[in-house]
């Protein structure tokens, strides 16, 4: 009996030691990870730098299989048959994606879902990206272009490469937005190590992606930026719009820092690329297919 008790006590001691050792390692690892995150003089996570999302949310934020894209409708530069055709080949195809919507599906109201399907079928005419309109929030975050965060103790500013879009996220609430706009108005604050931006005052003309996912002017977006390492940010955005969705829903994805020494934000001022598309029909003598090349 005494041998059994001795072995039991020894086993309990070993188990306790193993648990304590694992706990200590976990705590040390967590502390080490926290210590690795760069911080500003006021102790906040330092997010200054150039960031970019990877993946295929740009095409469709919901899970989707690879698919072909419809040819654009006839235009003044490149005439194509009036009937949409699969003429872009692999270049115009949509790659598959696991999606970034938490739960997988956007909770559309019935009429809003029908509009989404209609948008997708008429993507080449309706997507605001084609005409170089500002991308809106949160779409600006995961387009295939980098963006730069400028952060101080009193300011949080984001410059996007696409279309020269800018956001000054106010740290003091200036009150309701005076007018609706493409990028809306955002007010920020810190919740521990997470930067939270609450956006409102959006117009109803932006999309979430190229798949026709849309919203109304009643939309609000709450973004959360949390550094998980020196070169990674966990980005989350909660969307609420009772005119379009049956409940609030969220997207989530990592953002990656550009770490190359010569990293810088380029220019993609696409307005000049769409002038002929939008206004070419006003020419007295429209440009033909040969001249438009």
Domain membership of residue 5 (yes or no) is yes
Rounded Cα distance, 191 and 40, in Å: 16
21 & 131 share domain: no
56 & 18 share domain: no
Domain membership of residue 68 (yes or no) is no
Rounded Cα distance, 248 and 63, in Å: 18
Domain membership of residue 56 (yes or no) is yes
pLDDT digits (tens, 9 = 90+) for 157-188: 999 999 999 999 999 999 999 999 999 999 99
Domain membership of residue 282 (yes or no) is no
151 & 268 share domain: yes
Give the per-residue pLDDT at 77.
42
187 & 107 share domain: yes
Give the per-residue pLDDT at 71.
46
Domain membership of residue 90 (yes or no) is no
251 & 114 share domain: yes
Give the per-residue pLDDT at 268.
95
32 & 104 share domain: no
Which residues, given as ranges, of the chain have pLDDT below 50? 1-6, 8-34, 71-86
Give the per-residue pLDDT at 276.
85
26 & 152 share domain: no
Q: Could you tell me which residues come within 8 angstroms of residue 30 by beta carbon, excluding any fewer than 6 positions away?
A: none
1 & 56 share domain: no
| Beta carbons of 276 and 292 less than 8 angstroms apart | yes
Structural domain harbouring 30:
1-36
pTM of the model: 0.81
Kindly list the strands in the beta sheet with 194-200, ordered across the sheet, starting from the edge strand earlier in the chain.
Answer: 166-169, 156-160, 147-151, 49-53, 249-257, 232-240, 220-229, 194-200, 185-191
Rounded Cα distance, 74 and 284, in Å: 18
Domain membership of residue 247 (yes or no) is yes
Q: Find the farthest-apart pair of alpha carbons in the chain and give their distance in angstroms, rounded.
A: 106
Structural domain count of the chain:
2
Domain membership of residue 147 (yes or no) is yes
Give the per-residue pLDDT at 284.
75
Give the per-residue pLDDT at 16.
44
| Cross-strand bridge partners of residue 108 | 245
């Amino acid at each position: 009996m005494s041998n059994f008790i001795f072995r039991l006590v020894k086993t309990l001691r070993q188990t306790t030691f193993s648990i304590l050792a694992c706990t200590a390692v976990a705590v040390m690892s967590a502390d080490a990870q926290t210590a690795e995150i760069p911080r500003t003089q006021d102790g906040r996570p330092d997010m200054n730098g150039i960031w970019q999302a990877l993946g295929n949310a740009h095409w469709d934020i919901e899970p989707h299989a690879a698919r072909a894209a419809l040819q654009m409708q006839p235009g003044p530069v490149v005439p194509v048959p009036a009937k949409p055709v699969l003429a872009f080949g692999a270049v115009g195809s949509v790659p598959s994606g696991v999606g970034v919507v938490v739960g997988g599906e956007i909770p559309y109201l019935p009429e809003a879902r029908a509009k989404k399907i209609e948008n997708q079928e008429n993507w080449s005419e309706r997507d605001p990206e084609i005409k170089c309109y500002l991308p809106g929030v949160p779409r600006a975050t995961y387009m295939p272009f980098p963006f730069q965060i400028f952060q101080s103790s009193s300011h949080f500013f984001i410059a996007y490469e696409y279309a020269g879009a800018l956001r000054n996220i106010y740290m003091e609430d200036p009150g309701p937005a005076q007018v609706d706009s493409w990028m809306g108005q955002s007010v920020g604050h810190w919740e521990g190590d997470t930067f939270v931006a609450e956006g409102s005052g959006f117009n109803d003309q932006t999309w979430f992606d190229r798949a026709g996912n849309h919203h109304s002017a009643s939309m609000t977006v709450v973004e959360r930026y949390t550094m998980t390492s020196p070169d990674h940010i966990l980005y989350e955005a909660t969307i609420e719009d009772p005119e379009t969705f049956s409940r609030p829903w969220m997207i989530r994805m990592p953002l990656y820092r550009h770490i190359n020494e010569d990293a810088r934000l380029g220019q993609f001022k696409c307005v000049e690329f769409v002038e002929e598309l939008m206004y070419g029909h006003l020419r007295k003598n429209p440009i033909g297919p040969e001249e438009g090349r």
